[in-house]
A and B are shown apart, each in its own frame.
Chain A
Amino acid sequence: MTCNSGFSAIFVIIIFLNLSPAFGYIIALQETEEHTHQAESEEQNKEFKPGDFIFDHIKDAYDWHILTYKDFHLSIPLPVIVYSKTKGLNVFLSSKFHHGHDSYKGFKIAHEGKYEGKVVELMEDGTDTRPIDLSISKNVFAIFICIILMLWVFISVARVYKNNQGKAPKGLQNFVEPIILFIRDEIAIPSIGEKKYEKFMPYLLTLFFFIWINNMMGLIPIFPGGANVTGNITVTMVLAAFTFVVTAINGNKFYWQEIFNSPEIPFWLKIPLPLVPIIEIIGMLTKPLILMIRLFANITAGHIIALGFFALIFVFGDMQVTLGFVVSPLSILFTIFMTFLELLVALIQAYVFTLLSALYFGMAIAEHH
C-alpha cells in the first residue's frame, strides 16, 4: 500500500509538472533573460536570439542548469572526464569552469569555432584541440537517473511477483503489468511469432521503458527531468545499433540468403554486378537509420516547438515589454497544448521503436518466405 501511494504521488507530481510547464519553462526563460542581460552588460546591444535560446535547451551540456537570477546561477556541476595525450587523464567538476568563463588545468569550454560548447585543450601554440571526452554530461547524467529509476521500479516489481506468487497484482505491479502484457501480446507475439518471441522480450521491454521514461522525463521542465535524452542523435543511434546488432546476430540462413543470394531473383541481377544484394544491404542498414532519425526528430521537434512558443514572449518583449505580457498567456496555452501532444508522442514513439524492432527480429528469424 505504501508502495502504491508513493508511486501515485510521484505520478501526480509528474502529471502536475507536465500540466504546468509554464512553471519550469518560466524559470528557463528567466535564466535566458538574465543571460541576455548579462550578455548585454558584457557586449552591448546583444539581442534575444530565439535560435540560441532553443538550442541551449536541446543540446547536451557539462552542467545541469536549474536557474539563474541576476548574478546567481543555480546549476548542478557534473564531472568532466577528459584524456589528452599531453596531460593524461583529468577528472574535475564542471563548476571549475565557472559557467564557461574560466579555464582549468589547461582545459576550457570553447565559445566559438569547430568545437563550440565542448571542452577543448589549450595547446602551447595557442590552438585548441579536442581531448577524448568521457564527461558525465547532462544527458549521461539523465540516462543514469533513468536507469536507476528503471532498476528500482522493475527489480522491486519482480520481487513482488516472487513473493506474491499466484496472487492478484497490487501497487506498482498493477501499473507495470498491463504494459508488459501489451508489449508481449500486441508487439512481440504478432511480430516475432509464438515460438521464438520469448528470447527477445527482455530487449523489447528494456527498449520500450527506456525510451518511454526518457521521453517523459524530457517533458518535465526542471531537474531531474528536462534533459533532451531521446532527442539526442547519439542516444537514438545507440538504440538503433542495438536493434541492428540483435537482428544481425539472430538472422537465420533464410534471412541472409534473402539479402546476398535471393533465389527468386534472376542471376543477371546478381552477377557480375551484385545489384540486388547491394540494394538489400542498403535496405538492411536503412532500417536502423530510420529508427534513429524518427525518434530523434520527433522528440527534438516537440521540444523545439514548445520552446519556440516561449521564445515568442521574449521576441515580442524585446520589441515592447507590454507586448511580451500580452503574448505570454497565449504562448503558455499553446505550450500546454503541445505538452499534451508530446505526452502522446512520448508513448507513441516508444511504441513505434519497439514495434519496428520486433518486426525486424521477426523478419530475421522467419523460417521461409
Chain B
Amino acid sequence: MELVTPGFGLLFWMIISFGLVLWILKKFAWKPILNALKEREHSIEDALLSAEKAHEEMMKLEADNEAMIRKVKVERDGLLKEARQVKEKMIQEAKEQASEEAGKIIEAARLSIENEKTAAIADIKNQVATFSVEIAEKILKQKLAGKEDQKELIDKLLNEIKFN
C-alpha cells in the first residue's frame, strides 16, 4: 500500500525542485538554445534561398548573354552584308567613273592629237615651202653662175615682164 501512497515530504520537495528547475532552465537554457536553433535554421534557409536566387540570376545572365551574342551575331552579319554591298557599289561606281574618265581622256587625247596633227601638217607645209625656196634658190644660184646665163635670164625675165 505504501507503494501507491504519495508521501508529503517527497511531494513538497518534488513540486519545489521541479518548478525551480523548470523556471531556471526556461530562462537560462531553453530560451537561448531554442532561439539559437531558430536563428541558425533561418540563416541556413536564407543562405539556401540566396544561393537559389544567385543561381537563377546566373541562369538569367547566361540567357541574357546568349541572347546578346545572338543579337550581336545577327547585327554583325547585317553589317558584313551591308559592307559587301557598299563595297560592290563602290567598285561599280569606281568602274563607271573610271570608264567615263577614260572616255574623257581619250577624247581629249584625240583632240590634242588632231591639233598636233594639223600643227604638224602646217609645220611640214611651212618647211616644205622653205625647202622649196631654198632648193629654188640653190638651183637659181647654179643656173646663174655665168654672165651669159645671167643676161639670158634677165632678158628672158625682162621679156616675160611686159610693160603694161
Residues on A close to B: CB < 8 A? 55, 58-60, 81, 116-117, 132-137, 139-140, 143-144, 147, 150-151, 154-155, 157-158, 161-162, 165-166, 176-177, 180-181, 184, 198, 201-203, 205-206, 210, 232-235, 237-239, 242, 296, 300
Contacts and interface: CB of A to CB of B under 8 A. Distances in A.
A180 B30 CA distance: 9
Contact of A157 (B13, B21, B29): B29
A360 to B, nearest CB: 17
Nearest to A206: B22
A133 B28 CA distance: 32
Nearest to B34: A201
Interface of B: 2-15, 17-22, 24-26, 28-34, 36-37, 39-40, 43
Given A147-B17, A166-B40, A158 B33 contact: yes
A142 to B, nearest CB: 10
A133 B11 CA distance: 11
Contacts of B14: 140, 143, 234-235, 238
Contacts of A181: 37
21 contacts: A59-B2, A135-B9, A136-B13, A139-B10, A143-B13, A143-B17, A147-B20, A154-B33, A162-B36, A166-B39, A198-B34, A202-B30, A203-B26, A206-B21, A233-B4, A234-B6, A234-B7, A234-B10, A234-B14, A237-B6, A237-B11
A27 B4 CA distance: 27
A155 to B, nearest CB: 5
Nearest to B27: A202
Closest 4 CB pairs of A and B: A154-B29, A202-B26, A161-B36, A234-B6
A235 B22 contact: no
Nearest to A162: B32
A64 B76 CA distance: 95
A150 B15 CA distance: 16
A233 B30 contact: no
B28 A155 contact: yes
Given A117-B2, A206-B26, A238-B14, 15 more contacts: A134-B8, A134-B13, A137-B10, A150-B21, A151-B24, A157-B29, A158-B30, A161-B32, A180-B37, A202-B22, A202-B26, A202-B30, A234-B10, A242-B18, A300-B3
Contacts of A238: 11, 14-15, 18
A147 B36 contact: no
Contact of A210 (B4, B18, B28, B31): B18
Contact of A158 (B8, B10, B17, B29): B29
A162 B34 CA distance: 11
Given A206-B30, A210-B18, A233-B4, A151 B10 contact: no
A151 B34 CA distance: 16
Nearest to A205: B30
Given A132-B8, A158-B28, A206-B25, A180 B33 contact: yes
Contacts of B7: 60, 133, 137, 234
Nearest to A209: B25
A78 to B, nearest CB: 11
Contacts of B17: 140, 143-144, 147
A177 B37 contact: yes
Contacts of A203: 22, 26
A132 B7 CA distance: 10
A133 B9 contact: yes
Nearest to B30: A202
Nearest to A297: B4
Tell which of A59, A176, A233 has the most Cβ of chain B within 10 Å.
Answer: A233
A131 to B, nearest CB: 10
A55 B18 contact: no
Given A117-B2, A143-B17, A210-B18, A134 B43 contact: no
Contacts of B22: 202-203, 206, 242
Given A202-B31, A238-B11, A233 B21 contact: no
A110 to B, nearest CB: 11
Contacts of A162: 32, 36
A177 B17 CA distance: 24
A52 to B, nearest CB: 12
Contacts of A202: 22, 25-26, 30-31
B9 A140 contact: yes
